[in-house]
Every structure is written in C-alpha cells, then in structure tokens.
Amino acid sequence: MRTSWKYLLSLSLLFQLITSCFAPLKFETANPNAPKPGPPDYALHKYWLALPEMTDSADLVIKNSALNDLQASAKADVFYVHPTTYIYGKAWNSNINDPAGLLTESSPVKNQASIFNGSCRVYAPRYRQAEFLTYVAFYKKQAQVFDVAYNDVKKAFLYYINNYNNGRPFIIASHSQGTDHAIRLCRELIEKDSSLRKRFVVAYLVGSVIKEGDFTDLVPCDSANQTDCYVTWNTTRWGEVTFFGKPVLNAVCVNPLSWKRSRETISHEYNQGGVSTSFDKIDRGLTGAKISPNGLLWVHKPKRSKKEYPRINKRNYHSVDYNWFYMNVRENVRDRIDSYFLGRDTVDRSLTNRDSHAEIPR
C-alpha cells in the first residue's frame, strides 16, 4: 500500500520533537540518485561526538546537583550509538561533514550519553545515519542505506576496541536507530567473539522493539546487577498498545525502576529522578512504570511541560526514553560495573531506593 504524503509529513514533523532539533524543518524527500557521502576516519577526533579526552556534551552534569563527571577515574567504558537526527536531508544517508547535521546530534549526547559519565569513559561516534524517511517510505535500496550506517558504527566500535579500550570492560548503549545498529553489533561481534564477550558488561538497547529470539544467547537482564545481558524498553502512555502506530506483540521489556521483567506496577517513589530536555534539574519521583501485557513500558503523564518531556501524538514518549529514568540508569550502570568486577551478583538492589523506604505496590 502506498504511503500518503500527509502521513509522511505528519511523522516528519513529529520527529522534530523526537530529535530535539531546533533547526528549521525542511521536508524534502531524499534523492535516490544523490551521491553517497564519504566514510568517516575514526582516527580523527572530528568523527566522534564524545571521547574522554575531548570536551563534549557527554561531559555535562546537572547544575547545582551532586553529580560529577568521573570519566578520568572510571573503571569501564561505554560505546554509545545515537538515535536519528537526520530528518531533512536530500540523500538517504547523512553527510557526516555537514555542520548543520552535526549540530543536531548534541541533544541526544547530552540527554542520554551523559548518564554514563559517572561510571564510564564515554565513546560516541558520528556515523552516516539513515534519513528518517527510510523507516516509513518505500525505497528498494532501504537495506543498503542501513548497511552504510551500520558499517560506520561497526568500524567505529572496532577502532575503539583496537585503539582506546586497552582490555577494559565496556558497556554498549544506544537509542532508536542507534539501537537497531547496536543490536546487529551485538549479534555479529559480542555474541561471536569470546574475547569481547569477556569484557562485555551489559547493553542498554533502548527505543526499539526487541523480540524473544532476536539474539542467539544474549539474554534480557532480570535484576539490577546482572551482567552479560541486555536492557530494553519503549516508553508510552499508560494503556497504549502500539509503537509508532503499529501493534506490538510480545516485546522484551525490562522495567528501569525495578530492573526486572515482572509486570507489577512500580511506584513513582522508586524513580530516583528524571531529567527533562531542558537539562536543568533532577525531577525526583517523576513517574511510576509498569510493563504492559504486550511489552511496552507504561508511564503516566508528567507534571512538567510537554516541551520538557515531549511526546508523540499523545501516546509515545520515545524521545525521552532515557530522560524519564535518568538517575535510575545512572546508578544501575555503577551497580552492574561493580558486579562485573566482583564476578558475581551482589546484594540485589533492583528495588532499593536509597532515600526512601516505601513499599512496592503490587
């Protein structure tokens, strides 16, 4: 069935919210005959959004909070793959040297990658991402478009391993399109390379639907300090059954307030703090969360403005999947790294709120 231009336009406008990109939106269908942009050289710093030796958005912490950028003393690394920020291009893959395109990428790095700076050195590559319409428009070379983006991510990861990692444990973190590439990276490298698997702590594969069986032996996490596993969720309004308008069945979901897969409602009292896109303060107790019967993560509407926790068509909080649970994720990263170094699961803190003694509602 042919996709209407009105539908594509509405999705494109909505994706303006997703990416938190404030550049003027230009709705232009990608030109299949446009030349493929040249590949990045990851030996050059300009092809990285974040590196420990660079000053970048991954270094940021909330002002007037107790948070600190501890990358210099971190015992582990994170390899972070950003979501789609290329939504108004003339080619199916972004030109990695286009300054206008590069500016849009600072927002997800600030709102997502900065979570990890309390426990990890942060490595985040630029890559020739697929244009947003690749997801919704029919294009016979769609697979090739995603291959270009993925091959950049894979190249960046291998450069990181060979030149920066030095045998250290590492985490993989991603969102949306970045998660699509990170899933493939885990399948092709983490699951198949025993030397990488020994250093692998956990993967935060957020913002894309994952089904049981999508991995050969990498399993979903089911406690706060389990390692050699992956975490995933897709945040929607309470009661929603679709993801971007498509019905979802049997998606894998780990509740970031309990770090378990069970379906009980976890109270907002266990939310240690969301951080809105304004990145100005920690919103403690922002929301509770429940895994829905089909595997989405249900949350209630926040008290802060729509601009600070933007939603899509009143149903989907895709753009702020990490923001809702910023402080819980930040602590969980530390817990899993500690567990990795201990070589076993320690005290299960999946339902521990260090500043609250509230009972978990059932």
The residue-averaged pLDDT of 73-79 equals 98
CA distances from 50 to 45, 65, 130, 357 (A): 9, 22, 20, 38
Q: 90 versus 86: which is more confidently predicted?
A: 86
Mean pLDDT lowest among 78-92, 118-132, 173-187: 78-92
Most confident of 26-35, 269-278, 341-350, 351-360: 269-278
CA 134, CA 30: separation in Å to the nearest integer?
Answer: 9
CA 16, CA 132: separation in Å to the nearest integer?
Answer: 10
- Looking at the predicted structure, is the pLDDT value of residue 251 above 50? yes
- Residue labelled with tokens 């420990």: 52
Q: Rounded mean pLDDT of the chain?
A: 85
DSSP state, 302?
P
pTM of the predicted protein model: 0.86
Which pLDDT score is estimated for 23?
Answer: 31
**CB 41 within 8 Å of CB 122:** no
Q: In angstroms, how far is the first alpha carbon of the chain from the final one? A: 44
Which pLDDT score is estimated for 258?
Answer: 98
Quickly count: other Cβ atoms within 10 Å of residue 266's Cβ: 23
Share of the chain above pLDDT 90, in %: 65
- Looking at the predicted structure, is the pLDDT value of residue 6 above 60? no
How, if at all, do strands 290-291 and 297-299 pair?
Answer: antiparallel
DSSP state, 88?
S
CA 231, CA 253: separation in Å to the nearest integer?
Answer: 7
The residue-averaged pLDDT of 153-181 equals 98
- Looking at the predicted structure, is the pLDDT value of residue 25 above 60? no
Q: Where are the domains of the chain?
A: 1-208
